[in-house]
């Protein structure tokens, strides 16, 4: 699987709505996850199976799917949301794929 | 509370062998996969493979097959990532994560704190 994630970086302000996309090279159904990583920390699962919010994750985070096109949205950016975000999928040939990441920083 | 705890920083020389560890607690260890993920300095995440503690079934990402060995000791609730001969290219932070996996999906839901491996030539 190839995952095309965009943009590679974006600058935004607190309160902004931001969107990150991942395009899969072929049909992966809903099997796409989104993670947040802050500098010096382990990644954290935010969204699993395209649109399911992990327990304890704020509702301003959301995910959706249209065919092989996946969207991750933060509705109102908070100061603690400045981080790098990765999409991730897997296929039955043991191919685990992370997208290249999107760095979200302060405008 | 699910916790994944990894072994500490390693500083090695090229050609040396190494084994790092990851211990899971707060859940039924035998019945969740454990995954390993590499992050080179300033770079993104690369999934290396996963192992199922109950029967040691292991799936490697093709680019890591033959380069590392993933193993598990379920009596110690611990998974291991091992190299026979390190190179400078192995310098990275290595994360383990509890993994929910099926034939078609793999989700890394609880992560360890990471182990820094530094290899000098």
Report the mean per-residue pLDDT for chain A: 94
Report the mean per-residue pLDDT for chain B: 96
Q: What integer is the mean pLDDT of A63-86?
A: 97
> Is B89 strand, coil or helix?
helix
Least confident piece of the model among A69-78, B24-33, B38-47, B95-104: B95-104
- pLDDT (0 to 100) of residue B120: 97
Q: What integer is the mean pLDDT of B81-89?
A: 98
- pLDDT (0 to 100) of residue A94: 60
From A45, A92, A100, residue closest to B108, measured CB to CB: A45
In chain A, residues with a C-beta closer than 8 Å to the C-beta of B108 are 33, 35, 43, 45, 88
Query: A102 in contact with B at a CB cutoff of 8 Å?
Result: no
In chain B, residues with a C-beta closer than 8 Å to the C-beta of A45 are 107-110
Look at residue B56 and tell me whether its pLDDT is greater than 80.
yes
Kind and range of the H or E run holding B82: strand B78-83
pLDDT in tens, A5-37: 999 999 999 999 999 999 999 888 999 999 999
Higher per-residue confidence, B10 vs A107? B10
Q: What integer is the mean pLDDT of B55-76?
A: 95
Q: Which residue is closest to B35 within chain A, CA to CA?
A: A96
Task: Kindly determine whether residue A54 and residue B109, on different chains, have CB atoms separated by under 8 Å.
Answer: yes
In chain B, residues with a C-beta closer than 8 Å to the C-beta of A90 are 47, 101, 104-106
In chain A, residues with a C-beta closer than 8 Å to the C-beta of B114 are 42
- pLDDT (0 to 100) of residue A93: 62
Give B24's Cβ-side CA count (13 Å radius): 29
Query: B59 in contact with A at a CB cutoff of 8 Å?
Result: yes
Contact yes or no for A88/B100 (Cβ under 8 A): no
């Amino acid at each position: 699987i190839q995952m095309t994630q965009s943009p590679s970086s974006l600058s935004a302000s607190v309160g902004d709505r931001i969107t990150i996309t991942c395009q899969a090279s072929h049909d992966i159904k809903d099997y796409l996850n989104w993670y947040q990583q802050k500098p010096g920390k382990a990644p954290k699962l935010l969204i699993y199976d395209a649109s399911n919010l992990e327990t304890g994750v704020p509702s301003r985070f959301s995910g959706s799917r249209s065919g092989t096109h996946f969207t991750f949205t933060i509705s109102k950016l908070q100061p603690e949301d400045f981080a790098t975000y990765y999409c991730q999928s897997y296929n039955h040939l043991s191919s685990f794929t992370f997208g290249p990441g999107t760095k979200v920083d302060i405008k | 509370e699910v916790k994944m705890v990894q072994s500490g920083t390693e500083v090695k020389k090229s050609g040396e062998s190494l084994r790092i560890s990851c211990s899971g607690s707060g859940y039924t260890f035998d019945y969740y996969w454990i995954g390993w993920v590499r992050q080179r300095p300033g770079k993104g995440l690369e999934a290396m493979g996963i192992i199922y503690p109950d029967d040691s079934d292991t799936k490697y990402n093709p680019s890591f097959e033959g380069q590392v060995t993933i193993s598990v000791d379920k009596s110690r609730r611990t998974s291991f990532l091992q190299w026979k001969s390190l190179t400078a290219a192995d310098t990275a932070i290595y994360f383990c994560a509890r993994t929910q996996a099926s034939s078609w999906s793999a989700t890394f839901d609880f992560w360890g704190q990471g182990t820094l491996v530094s290899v000098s030539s």
